[in-house]
């Protein structure tokens, strides 16, 4: 694999500044004003939220944490020390940035604790947080941020973003020496929109498989969760084996796994197990029920395990 392609699937096409960012004009206009307000970036996976966080923080002393690792002790310890110390640049105090990615994964204790430093250090630091699931952010925290949706809010924005995605993806496909028609390119982008990260992952997968032409048949399935899909076809008589595997592989990706079961599993069945397509409606209903229950259980892992078990019952009935 040459250096160009190695870079392609790591950092080569990650936006490094606002000019490279594919986002609605309303977002670019807001962010071009500089680091003024505490900002919450929300929207679908792969829309550029994390890249935007780092672009916003460029040139500022920065503290980064993933929400899944965010505990209340962090607020009173490392975060407080970071925000309370003075950082000088040319003799002038420099505004600091606290970046919290996947903030929806934080504990309720963390959400309660974070309110204090947001107010206390308002003259010294700005908080920039990102989430795929904005509905999980408590109102008392949400109200402290300028919230920006990275999903299109109207048909005009969607058309603009899809066109920009096609330009970017077309360049990446050409770099990977994968041919395509404009019709297939449009379908490819629409199929994953607005998840640019998933588009890049699929191009990388095609390249590694030495595929030289993009077709509807070779891009339509997300195989990232294929091992989970295969478990769904097993008979529901190996509950402990299921538990060990799912707990080991998906305990930190429960929401993403539930989404994959409700979307990508359907495509997987249509392409690989046609005899089970009549089960699709019941699977969709089962996944929807478990997604609704997700926020009501103490241990979200139980929700995913229950959903897989239910799908096993459906597929083997």
Domain boundary among 174, 197, 220: 220
- Residues 28, 142: one domain? yes
Residue 287 shares a structural domain with residue 306: yes
Confidence label for 40 from pLDDT (cuts 50, 70 and 90): very high
Q: Do residues 271 and 220 touch, judged by C-beta distance below 8 A?
A: yes
201 and 161 in a common domain: yes
* Torsion angles phi and psi, residue 42, rounded to 5: -135, 160
Identify the CATH number of the domain in which residue 83 sits. Answer: 3.40.50.300
In whole angstroms, what is the distance from residue 66 CA to residue 273 CA?
A: 37
Within this chain, do residues 34 and 140 fall inside the same structural domain, yes or no? Answer: yes
Question: What domain range is 234 assigned to?
Answer: 224-315
**Does 229 lie in the same domain as 197?**
no
Query: Whole-model pTM?
Result: 0.73
Domain check: are 215 and 229 in the same one? Answer: no
Select the more confidently predicted residue: 158 or 12. 158
What average pLDDT score do residues 237-252 get? 85
Total number of domains constituting the chain: 3
Q: Assign 3-state DSSP to the chain and report helix, strand, coil percentages, each to 5.
A: 60, 10, 30
Contacts of 74 (CB under 8 A, 6+ apart): 65, 110
Task: Report the pLDDT averaged over residues 206-214.
Answer: 88
- Whether 145 and 50 map to the same domain: the answer is yes
- CATH number where 201 lies: 1.10.8
Q: Would you say residue 162 lies in a domain?
A: yes
141 and 177 belong to one structural domain: no
Does the structure show a pLDDT above 80 at 4?
no
Q: Which residue, 149, 183, 198, sits at the end of a domain?
A: 149
Cα(82)–Cα(95) distance, rounded to whole angstroms? Answer: 11
> pLDDT at residue 86 above 80?
no
Residue 110 falls within a domain, yes or no? yes
Q: Residue 14: inside a domain, yes or no?
A: no
Average pLDDT over residues 63-70: 89
In a domain, 45, yes or no: yes
- For residue 211, being part of any structural domain is answered with yes
pLDDT band at residue 81, thresholds of 50, 70 and 90? very high
199 and 132 assigned to the same domain: no
The 10 Å Cβ neighbour count of residue 13 is 17
Q: How far apart are CA 161 and CA 106, in angstroms?
A: 30
pLDDT tens digit sequence for 155-181: 999 999 999 999 999 999 998 899 999
Residue 12 included in any domain? no
> Domain boundary residue among 201, 220, 239?
220
The answer to whether residue 6 sits within a structural domain is no
The pLDDT of residue 92 is 55
Q: Are 236 and 216 in the same domain? A: no
Going by C-alpha positions, the residue among 221, 235, 206, 316 that lies closest to residue 264 is: 221
Is 117 within 8 Å of 12 (Cβ atoms)?
Answer: no
In the predicted model, what is the mean pLDDT of the chain? 88
Q: What is the mean pLDDT of residues 70-92?
A: 78
Q: Which of 27-31, 92-96, 296-300 has the lowest mean pLDDT?
A: 92-96
**Structural domain includes residue 15:** no
Query: In terms of domains, do 207 and 235 share one?
Result: no
> Which pLDDT band, with edges at 50, 70 and 90, does 14 fall under?
confident
Same domain, 174 and 122: no
């Amino acid at each position: 694999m040459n250096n160009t392609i190695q870079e392609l699937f790591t950092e080569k096409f990650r936006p490094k500044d606002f000019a490279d960012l594919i986002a609605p004009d309303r977002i670019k206009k807001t962010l071009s004003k500089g680091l003024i307000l505490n900002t919450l970036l929300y929207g679908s996976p792969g829309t550029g939220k994390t890249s935007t966080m780092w672009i916003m923080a460029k040139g500022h002393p920065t503290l980064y944490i993933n929400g899944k690792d965010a505990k209340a002790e962090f607020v009173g310890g490392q975060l407080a020390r970071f925000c309370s110390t003075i950082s000088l640049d040319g003799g002038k105090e420099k505004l600091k940035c606290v970046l919290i990615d996947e903030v929806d994964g934080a504990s309720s204790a963390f959400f309660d604790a974070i309110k204090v430093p947001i107010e206390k250090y308002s003259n010294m630091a700005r908080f920039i947080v990102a989430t795929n699931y904005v509905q999980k952010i408590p109102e008392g925290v949400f109200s402290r941020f300028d919230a920006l949706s990275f999903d299109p809010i109207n048909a005009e924005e969607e058309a603009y973003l899809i066109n920009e995605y096609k330009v970017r993806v077309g360049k990446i496909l050409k770099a990977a020496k994968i041919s395509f028609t404009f019709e297939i390119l449009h379908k490819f982008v629409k199929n994953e929109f607005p998840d640019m990260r998933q588009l890049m992952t699929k191009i990388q997968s095609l390249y590694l498989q030495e595929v030289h032409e993009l077709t509807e048949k070779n891009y339509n399935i997300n195989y990232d969760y294929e091992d989970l899909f295969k478990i769904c076809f097993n008979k529901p008589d190996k509950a402990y084996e299921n538990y060990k595997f799912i707990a080991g592989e998906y305990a930190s990706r429960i929401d993403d796994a539930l989404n994959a079961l409700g979307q990508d599993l359907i495509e997987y069945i249509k392409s690989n197990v046609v005899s089970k397509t009549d089960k699709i409606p019941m699977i969709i209903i089962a996944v929807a029920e478990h997604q609704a229950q997700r926020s009501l259980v103490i241990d979200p892992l139980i929700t995913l395990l229950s959903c897989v078990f239910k799908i096993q019952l459906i597929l083997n009935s």
